[in-house]
Structure 1
Amino acid sequence: MQWKHIAEPIKENDETFPQRLALIHGDGQLTYGQLWDGIQAWASVLRDEYGIGEGDHVAYILPNGLDIAELYYAVQVLGAVAVPLNGRLIAEEIATLLRLSDAKLLVYASIVAEKIEALPWQAEDAISGNRAMAQTVSSQEIRFLAQKREGERIPLAGGGGSWSRIQFTGGTTGIPKGACRSHCADLFEADSLRQMIGLGERECETVLVQSPVSHHGGHGWLITSLSVGATLILCGKFDANELLTQIERYGVTHLLIMPPTIYPRLFEGVGKEDYDLSSVRFVQTSAGLTTASINELILDRFPNAVLSYGWGQSESGAGTAVRFDRQMVRDASPVLMSIGRPMAHVEMRLVDDDGNDVAEEGIGEALLRGATVMDGYYHLDELQSEVFTNDDWLRTGDMMRRDKEGYYYLVSRKKDMIKSGGENVFAGEVEQCLLAHPAITDCIVFGTEDAEYDETVAAVVTVRPGAEVTLAEVQAHCKAHLASYKKPRYLMVVEDFERDDAGKIRKQTIIEEFEKQKAALQK
């Protein structure tokens, strides 16, 4: 790895090709020279006006755009630690994460100003007690101040094994966990991603990212794209016409839109000749299950592209990936159901509950080790032995199997395994089966209490417009492909799933609604 500091490649790009276009968001654009100038000016403001220095934690709630890129790298220049937060959080949740992360400053976008004004300044929590809340400032104010600072060059601080980012992750219940990621871990992840998506192979490449760069997946594409000198288009909320227009206008070569189920929406009512999408060479998707029909649609509408599906975590950095080409889709290759092989700089193995390696095609928890892995969870040292083995393997919590060619197949989250009548049912396996039903467009599967089986399988699904589906139909479909004990015994149909900015379903909210209606649902 040639770099030790996450901002080094941006500095080098400023010196090598300052006039090359670096960032596009809406009507806003920055060359690499303008980007580096802006980063330096923002860093100057953070240092002089807000006292940010090496090791300080700077939280931010910012949508995709120029501000989030300049702020993130300004924080890195100062040797401080970035703490990206989700803009959908309520004020109480924001306050909790500010305290858990020891944030000294919170930078926020104007669209969340009301939430910031409602922060419970005197609230307490079990971790940090009644500690002083972080300073807050709008990104507009920092941009205004930064416009008056030109020409200063601040030397890079930090780097190497020091933290660049605390990425909150995990879960719908319990205390949120902040994954501590170092400069080196993120740089190795960027190199792993670069190799996987083939960035940097040609002179002028253009990347479009619709996933929020405040989340781990989008962040990886941000630092990877800018490190190789590509032009990066950051898109906001999903707008099919805007996305397709941007792809055509700028000749996008690499595309990240998540989850897979969003692609039918992208092309709804759009003819093959309406947009020229021939420039796209690589389409990446993840954060949800894909299907044969979705794969076929993507490869049909992007005639010169290969399709990649990936798996990874904030904790692991890099993960696995697989490329699907047209021949594999035509042949209905079993590999289409896989999450791929380990990416560069990581290794994986599967183990049983006693830590023993499982046999080929056996199901076990995936362990991962490598240069891209986090250091641990911030302020949660007691979890270190739970998350890592004695020889530094990360316990991912995902149950997988591996075939003879080394492809991994995601079965379920370990905590999502359903114990029904003494039999193990993996939620992911049932979800994959349900998505093959012609009427079902999306689904989640989970366990629910049952007097007869202790726990049984429940499913919540969305269906195609005008379609209907019954529990009996779903059960018959599942029994044709799975053992009978794996079929859902409860079915709830909803109009749409609420997803977060990264495209992940808010599963706990849906489960809570299901439990309210459970008594009325047919069993």
Structure 2
Amino acid sequence: MSGPIDHVGLQARLQPTRLAAVDLASGRRWTYAELDADVAACARVLVERGVALGDRIVSLARNRVDLVILHLACARIGAVYAPLNWRLSPAEILALVEDADPRLVVGDQELDRVELEGLSLDHLAAEIAAAEPLAAAPFDRGRPSLILYTSGTSGRPKGVVLSERNLDHTAINFGRLGRVTHQSAFLIDAPMFHVLGLVTTVRPPLLHGGAILVSDGFEPARTLARLSDPDLAVSHYFCVPQMAQALRHHPDLAPERLAGLTAIFTGGAPHAAADIRAWLAIGVPVVDGFGMSETGTVFGMPVDPAQIDARAGSVGVALPGVRSRIVDAAGRDCPDGQPGELLLKGDNVFSGYWRRPDDTAGAFTADGWFRTGDIARADAEGFHWLVDRKKDMFISGGENVYPAEIEAALADHPGIAECAVLGLPDPRWGEVGHLILVPRPGAVVSHAAVVAHLEHRLARYKLPKATTIVDSLPRTGSGKIQKAVLKALILERTPA
């Protein structure tokens, strides 16, 4: 049986000469016919190197188109691709390599940094160029093709096992929400060990026959220049909120030069309504959404400035293929507006955690709903708001307090660059809020000034009882604040 076996193979037949990918660091370009041929040749290389069904291929490298080729080739032969976070320490990376138990390790200079033996991506590219393409053959899109390791904000990273069918649904869901077409061009800055960089910004354009423009990393000035470049004609840019904030505050920002963008799309962390409206005020739509490594794209806001403004801070609506519930501690469905834990079901949801059966069992309810660990609320029209991570919520004097609500209320404070709120033990109230903030250059921010900013916006029990000023907040490779690290730091400084 012959025929196109994946989206790249299909586009290679429908529009073989159309631009599919650009590697911005090297300048190399691929049409769909060329990209399809390289994926098929890479599949041949892997098979000849002894890679078989179910084997893992680990990569440790900065962004480049070769990583997309490698992942798609793994899918075609039934291997499982496992990209690792190069921002981790050598010991952490080696622990993940041991966990993945790979048949083959590939990478760039990051291999040398952690003293890990493997095949260089340059050597792999040379082998691909010399190889005969492996003949196309249909395959089961339900079998695993990817392991994404979670950020590990609350412990050892877990490997999320995803199939091509799971990834297809992110391509479909984001494509619908983000107005993706064959004319779309996605600039990819997000690291390709993360769902944003490898899935959300790669699969939708390849499904629709658009182009991916792969950058080797985020640099605000360079990113702004690329977003403004009429020759690149970037239509979609996806980033985490702190990347968007760095762009908005950069002196090179010229909003009128971003008119070609469908929108800047954000996810991966809460995005404050004040920051979203600040983008709208300069004529750039910022479309927030929600997804996870375990689920891909789940919710998204409309690409419509009026609707974004009316519900700034919302992560939007679910797609028809995604089922969602918000439940209380007893598992009962919450009424509109009441916060509860977000549960999800659908073909987008992962099958389990790699070699972690207990974690997998604990992640699902008895009737198959995935427990996201996120507290959310929804209105009668189906728009969702993320309230906080369940594990970050604390109880002060019997009242639930969500740190993300406090952090959002501080987003427009002129002296605060970024901040985080923790719940810390207190003999009187059980727990109280502790604010950790990074001031803007030259700003002096006191605890009293913070309280004055918040006291007319939030109930008194939500106000932080202390403030600590730091130079920076610790983050994971995907940009999430490491609150466990912050909590250990503050407790260490607090006298017993």
In the alignment, the residues of structure 1 paired with residue 166 and residue 307 of structure 2 have an alpha-carbon distance, to the nearest angstrom, of: 33
Provide the residue aligned with 1:84 in structure 2.
83
> Structure 1: which 5+ runs fail to align?
118-134
Provide the residue aligned with 1:383 in structure 2.
359
Counterpart contact for 1:365–1:400, Cα < 8 Å: yes
RMSD: 2.3
Counterpart contact for 2:287–2:302, Cα < 8 Å: yes
In the alignment, the residues of structure 2 paired with residue 436 and residue 300 of structure 1 have an alpha-carbon distance, to the nearest angstrom, of: 14
Deviation at 1:324? 6.1
Deviation at 1:370? 0.9
Superposed, 1:151-230 pairs within 5 Å as: 151-156=132-137, 158-169=139-150, 171-200=152-181, 203-218=182-197, 219-230=199-210
Q: What SS does structure 1 have at the residue aligned with 2:73?
A: helix
In the alignment, the residues of structure 1 paired with residue 452 and residue 436 of structure 2 have an alpha-carbon distance, to the nearest angstrom, of: 16
Counterpart contact for 1:475–1:487, Cα < 8 Å: yes
Superposed, 1:373-522 pairs within 5 Å as: 373-519=349-495
Deviation at 1:14? 1.6
In the alignment, the residues of structure 1 paired with residue 223 and residue 137 of structure 2 have an alpha-carbon distance, to the nearest angstrom, of: 36
Counterpart contact for 1:459–1:492, Cα < 8 Å: yes
Provide the residue aligned with 2:239 in structure 1.
257
1:23-80: CA deviations, max 9, x gaps?
A: 122222222122122222222222213x112211111112211221111112112111
Query: In the alignment, residue 178 of structure 2 is paired with which amino acid?
Result: I
Query: In the alignment, residue 239 of structure 1 is paired with which amino acid?
Result: E
Instruction: Pick closer, same or farther for the CA change 1:416–1:293 going to 2, 3 Å.
Output: closer
In the alignment, the residues of structure 1 paired with residue 365 and residue 173 of structure 2 have an alpha-carbon distance, to the nearest angstrom, of: 23
Provide the residue aligned with 1:19 in structure 2.
17
Query: In the alignment, residue 286 of structure 2 is paired with which amino acid?
Result: L
In the alignment, the residues of structure 1 paired with residue 270 and residue 354 of structure 2 have an alpha-carbon distance, to the nearest angstrom, of: 30
Which sits farther off after the overlay, 362-371 or 444-453?
444-453
Provide the residue aligned with 1:60 in structure 2.
59
Provide the residue aligned with 1:41 in structure 2.
41
Deviation at 1:237? 2.3
Counterpart contact for 2:339–2:375, Cα < 8 Å: yes
Counterpart contact for 1:307–1:325, Cα < 8 Å: no
1:5-33: CA deviations, max 9, x gaps?
A: 9x611011122222211112222222212
Q: What SS does structure 2 have at the residue aligned with 1:172?
A: coil
Counterpart contact for 2:166–2:295, Cα < 8 Å: no
1:323 corresponds to 2:302: yes
Kindly tell me the number of residue pairs found equivalent between the two proteins: 489
In the alignment, the residues of structure 1 paired with residue 307 and residue 172 of structure 2 have an alpha-carbon distance, to the nearest angstrom, of: 27
Counterpart contact for 1:85–1:168, Cα < 8 Å: yes
Question: Paired residue for 1:269, among 228, 246, 251?
Answer: 251
Q: What SS does structure 1 have at the residue aligned with 2:130?
A: coil
Which sits farther off after the overlay, 190-199 or 497-506?
497-506
Q: What SS does structure 2 have at the residue aligned with 1:312?
A: strand
In the alignment, the residues of structure 1 paired with residue 114 and residue 81 of structure 2 have an alpha-carbon distance, to the nearest angstrom, of: 20
Deviation at 1:514? 2.5
Instruction: Pick closer, same or farther for the CA change 1:77–1:15 going to 2, 3 Å.
Output: same
Counterpart contact for 1:195–1:344, Cα < 8 Å: no
Percent identity, aligned pairs only?
28
1:364 corresponds to 2:340: yes
Q: What SS does structure 1 have at the residue aligned with 2:190?
A: coil
Deviation at 1:99? 2.5
1:143 corresponds to 2:125: yes
Q: What SS does structure 2 have at the residue aligned with 1:94?
A: helix
Deviation at 1:355? 0.8
Query: In the alignment, residue 148 of structure 1 is paired with which amino acid?
Result: A
Q: What SS does structure 2 have at the residue aligned with 1:186?
A: helix
1:8 corresponds to 2:25: no
Counterpart contact for 1:54–1:157, Cα < 8 Å: no
TM-score (norm 1): 0.87
Deviation at 1:86? 0.5
Counterpart contact for 2:151–2:478, Cα < 8 Å: no
Counterpart contact for 1:259–1:504, Cα < 8 Å: no
Counterpart contact for 1:261–1:442, Cα < 8 Å: no
Counterpart contact for 1:318–1:343, Cα < 8 Å: no
Instruction: Pick closer, same or farther for the CA change 1:221–1:355 going to 2, 3 Å.
Output: same
In the alignment, the residues of structure 2 paired with residue 44 and residue 314 of structure 1 have an alpha-carbon distance, to the nearest angstrom, of: 29
Instruction: Pick closer, same or farther for the CA change 1:438–1:161 going to 2, 3 Å.
Output: same
Q: What SS does structure 1 have at the residue aligned with 2:420?
A: strand
Deviation at 1:83? 1.0
Instruction: Pick closer, same or farther for the CA change 1:269–1:176 going to 2, 3 Å.
Output: closer
1:203-223: CA deviations, max 9, x gaps?
A: 422111221222112222211
Deviation at 1:300? 4.9
Instruction: Pick closer, same or farther for the CA change 1:110–1:430 going to 2, 3 Å.
Output: same
Counterpart contact for 1:166–1:179, Cα < 8 Å: yes
Query: In the alignment, residue 56 of structure 1 is paired with which amino acid?
Result: D
Provide the residue aligned with 1:120 in structure 2.
none
Counterpart contact for 1:309–1:339, Cα < 8 Å: yes
Instruction: Pick closer, same or farther for the CA change 1:112–1:192 going to 2, 3 Å.
Output: same
